[in-house]
Structure 1
Amino acid sequence: MTDHKDYFGESVAATYDESTAGMFTADAVDPAVAVLAELAGDGRALELGVGTGRIALPLAARGVEVHGIELSRAMADRLRAKPGGEAIGVTFGDFTTARAPGTFSVAYLVFNTIMNLTTQDAQVDCFRNVAAHLAPGGTFVIEVMVPQLRKLPPGQNAVPFHVGETRLGFDTYDTATQAMASHHVRVENGEGSFHSVPFRYVWPAELDLMARLAGMRLRDRWADWDRSPFTADSESHVSVWEKTDG
């Protein structure tokens, strides 16, 4: 995302909801929306990487005013075509620098989207940009995986995350640079396709330091949206930082 390349163009946006259908279920969406609605209170919510509205639409349906920042116009078109989508304001641009109008009680990045920023500098800039959007006492929420390096035996750099009859997905890691990529192989009607997206994996403690640099401090960290405890065996975390300066 730091090179402003759109990896979620028309070909990805057209099937995004179907390809990530498991993340659109009530079990996946409702706990996240409940936490974000509580943090928003009577204020506004800002979603970085609003996409097709998986979280923004149900959050808005609970009475929270939601604004999104989005790089992909194709993804935003899907959002606007859905019931309630026109009520979600969208600012187009890279969420390290793009400024949405007004201030917000909560800002959030879900579904590993912080890793779309492929350098440490960009991730730091994201925290600073969020802090500039938040009202004093506002919160920033990130949902992101814990890097699965424990699954890498010596000499291996790939970890599969989906193996099916028509689809293969695997992540590759460079432990020297924290660069990684997700690779998607599909075979449909006898024809194959390949899609790859670069990421930068990031550790919880590293995120905490980024927050401190932006004038925020850690308030909560859970293993999931259900607020279950975060442990050494957790494969993901939901972290909440609070803006401490004015």
Structure 2
Amino acid sequence: MSAFPYDTSVQSSYASLFADRYDDWFAASNTESTVGFLAALAKEGPPGPLLELGSGTGRVALPLASLGLTVEGLDASPEMTARLHAKPGGSAVRVTLGDFSAPPRPADTGRYALVYAAGGTFAELDTQDAQRRCLASAAQRLRPGGRLALDAHLPEALATRGTGTQPVDTPGEGFVLRTRTLHPARQQYTSDYAVLDDGRMRHVRVSFRYFTPGELDLLAELAGLRLVRRTGGWSGRPLADSSSHHVSVYERPA
């Protein structure tokens, strides 16, 4: 007999189930480099506020706001947003609840100097059409000369060393196992998380769509954006054959 209860159902939303524990389990180790990259990028374009697509619990937005930048968020989860606003400085970050692949409201058209998505958030839009609509929406939100930045897996690295089962390095209490499975016929991958939470094992599945940098560039071009540069991560290191991720920066031409 199992030593603890096991919930065999697939939970549809990690955001609603684990918002209060998300930072303990999934606080990314690259937060400092992500914030530094984006803060420097904000200085390159026109003045104006920043917008995070999928602001979550504020892992990136709050440190950016603490630097004196005006940061806003767009997120589908009220639970995650409540966690953001409960943190020190959270009241300074205005978050709109909604789908970041949807067209912007009139008041948000041409409003932002920098729009960004971090932590693989963009890939959670798991169809090409949703990703295309997101890029088009981001372009409409940007001021002329404004920038869009997002990170993503390189498909070759994902296929060769990004799948299988491994424990998630969690800085807080709890135990998390992730199984990542590639679905080439759909150009998608799923991450199944087995989470030991308060003596109960829970299962959460998140679906993603991967893409080549070339496909991303084409979708961005269709949205009226041009590639400014691509790096091998938020550290800003050059993109190389050994890179597992890329960060792509686009501009809405003035």
TM-score range relative to shorter protein = 0.7 to 0.9
Give the C-alpha shift of residue 189 in structure 1.
6.4
What residue identity is the alignment partner of 1:97?
A
Q: Aligned in 2, Cα 1:217/1:192: closer, same or farther, shift over 3 Å?
A: same
Q: How does 1:1-246 map to 2 (within 5 A)?
A: 7-21=13-27, 23=28, 25=29, 28-41=30-43, 42-97=47-102, 99=104, 101-102=107-108, 103-147=111-155, 148-151=158-161, 158-162=163-167, 166-187=175-196, 191-244=200-253
Give the C-alpha shift of residue 146 in structure 1.
1.8
Q: Which residues of structure 1 form unaligned runs of 5+?
A: 153-157
1:155 aligned partner: none
Query: C-alpha root-mean-square deviation of aligned residues, in Å?
Result: 2.2
Aligned-pair identity (%): 38
Highest RCO, 1 vs 2 (Cα 8 Å, sep ≥ 6): 2
Q: Which residues of structure 2 form unaligned runs of 5+?
A: 1-10
Give the C-alpha shift of residue 195 in structure 1.
1.1
Q: 2:101 aligns to what SS in structure 1? A: coil
* Maintained 8 Å contact 1:39/1:105: no
Q: 1:106 aligns to what SS in structure 2? A: strand
* Maintained 8 Å contact 1:105/1:138: yes
CA distance in 1, matches of 2:244, 2:140: 30
Q: 2:239 aligns to what SS in structure 1? A: coil
* Maintained 8 Å contact 2:13/2:204: no
Q: What TM-score comes out, normalization by structure 1 length?
A: 0.87
Give the C-alpha shift of residue 161 in structure 1.
4.2
Q: Aligned in 2, Cα 1:83/1:187: closer, same or farther, shift over 3 Å?
A: closer
CA distance in 2, matches of 1:78, 1:221: 32
Aligned length: 232
Q: Aligned in 2, Cα 1:82/1:188: closer, same or farther, shift over 3 Å?
A: closer
Give the C-alpha shift of residue 30 in structure 1.
2.1
Q: Deviations over 1:83-104 (max 9, x none)?
A: 1111111111110015264411
* Maintained 8 Å contact 2:194/2:204: yes
Q: Aligned in 2, Cα 1:162/1:29: closer, same or farther, shift over 3 Å?
A: same
Q: Deviations over 1:174-220 (max 9, x none)?
A: 10111211001134565322111111112211111111011111111
Q: What TM-score comes out, normalization by structure 2 length?
A: 0.84
Q: Aligned in 2, Cα 1:56/1:99: closer, same or farther, shift over 3 Å?
A: same
